[in-house]
Amino acid sequence: MTSIFCFSGSGHSLAIADYFSSMLSVPVNTICRDTIPHGDTAIVVFPVYCQNIPAPVKAFLKKLNAANIVLIASYGRISYGRVLFEAQKLVRGNVIAGVYVPTGHTFLQGNTDFDEAAFLPVFERIKAPRTVSIPKTPKSLYANIFPGWRSRASVKITKSSCVNCGICRECCPANDTTGCIRCLRCVSSCPHNALTFTVSPFLKKYLTTHYCDDLVLYL
Ligand SMILES: Cc1cc2nc3c(=O)[nH]c(=O)nc-3n(C[C@H](O)[C@H](O)[C@H](O)COP(=O)(O)O)c2cc1C
């Protein structure tokens, strides 16, 4: 049985997971604090955060034990660091494919388009599994300078017509130790559009320069 697991703050990874879901006719399981992995083949889709694996995904990958694993990381055209190499070390099971997918950046609110055709070899690999080794790629030096601090200082979330429905709290993947990770899942999940965010002009300028556009497949 194939299972799809996804963590997505602003919808880019979810669009990819939904595509796999429609092609394979299996539902998407949202990764949250208590998600229990299941299935022989696991497809895990998540974003790159500060050239790292988001904390809730890291916790999930440590629990993952599947015969075959496909790892898909969406990234905002800055740098993906060595996220898939690190994810491969956390899981138990054979990693049979890894993909870095360039998408829009969470903080720029673009559309969630991606190149569907690029995934066709991944479906072939799922049908005929073979272990792959994902190499250790270099991290971008600039993207590595206090990235967490930069997003906390430059991205402000504001509340307007909040009715205290609590949905944002329920879907927040951060816990007391990590604090807000600026995934903006609260903003995208608010049914009343009560949350908005602003990005500092400096960060916006940095993010609109595309440093890396590569779709990378490890098969
Ligand atoms: C806190 C945070 C950190 C990010 N760090 C990076 C990064 O280091 N490199 C990059 O290319 N994109 C980065 N991004 C952009 C996301 O990886 C990209 O937009 C991704 O597709 C978001 O997926 P989602 O919509 O499923 O949450 C970051 C986004 C956020 C919110």
Structural domains in the chain, sorted by start:
2-139+210-218 (3.40.50.360), 143-208 (no CATH)
Looking at the predicted structure, is the pLDDT value of residue 207 above 80? yes
Q: What is the mean pLDDT of residues 115-135?
A: 97
How far, in Å, is the centroid of ligand 1 from the Cα of 57? 13
Looking at the predicted structure, is the pLDDT value of residue 104 above 90? yes
Across all residues in the chain, what is the average pLDDT?
Answer: 92
How far, in Å, is the centroid of ligand 1 from the Cα of 136? 20
Quote the pLDDT of residue 152.
81
Quote the pLDDT of residue 177.
66
How far, in Å, is the centroid of ligand 1 from the Cα of 76? 5
Q: Please state the φ and ψ torsions of residue 14, each to the nearest 5 degrees.
A: -65, -40
Residue nearest to atom 19 of ligand 1 (CA): 105
| Residues in contact with 127: Cβ distance below 8 Å, sequence separation at least 6, in sequence order | none
Q: Are 106 and 76 within 8 A, CB to CB?
A: yes
Quote the pLDDT of residue 10.
94
Ligand 1 shell residues, CB under 6 Å: 8-14, 47-51, 74-80, 103-106, 143, 151, 181-183
Residue 176: pLDDT band (50, 70, 90) is low
